[in-house]
Structure 1
């Protein structure tokens, strides 16, 4: 009996670890696909494997420097714990796929707050900002993928 219990203790972390690894790989693949779709100029649906972030539509945009982007936004109640949990969850997922390059927690010139984290992938830049919008009484978690335009 003790031998079986010991074997079970060794097996459980391996099973859980492989499941987490599969989830991470799936998210990274989804993020990579989103990066490729940024150049299509089409609104794209994106769903995160997080309980706090539902599926949203991500809107395309073009940058002045010849970049293409997709922006995804999740609204929450103003400065709610759910918004912070979602931000931290998204940061953790993105950090498993890309390398951190910048964090901007500088203050803004109005009562709202702003926290930006950026990551480098092989294709472009992934940004995860948290923004308070006092006038709207909402806090937003954003995901932006940006890459050079390739015709």
Structure 2
């Protein structure tokens, strides 16, 4: 369902990148239970960034970060490129992927940074919306 997730007063969800990858994402892809299931699953192609605020809200306090799981949507059935378009715009990768290491040693995954543009590529209008996409190695 939509709306906010009910958590105790004062609860803040502020995981490290290692926790996001090694605990939440690893358990999610392994179909293992997560102790407090606070990360929603959404279809990024059907939601605009500003709609994620309500869909992925945790608790009632002010929030400027939202966490969610989303399956990658292929641009073409046989291709490797990801479709990152929505009705209002598109997510565009920026910079290079950053390696995430467990305990500063073992590489466990990567972080890709994307910026949302309204309109259609290549003439989109850059917005303030930023997304960090994590994937396991």
Q: TM-score range by the shorter chain?
A: 0.3 to 0.5
Normalized per residue, the structure richer in helix is 1
Normalized per residue, the structure richer in strand is 1
TM-score by length of 2: 0.35
Q: Please say which structure displays the higher CA radius of gyration.
A: 1
TM-score by length of 1: 0.33
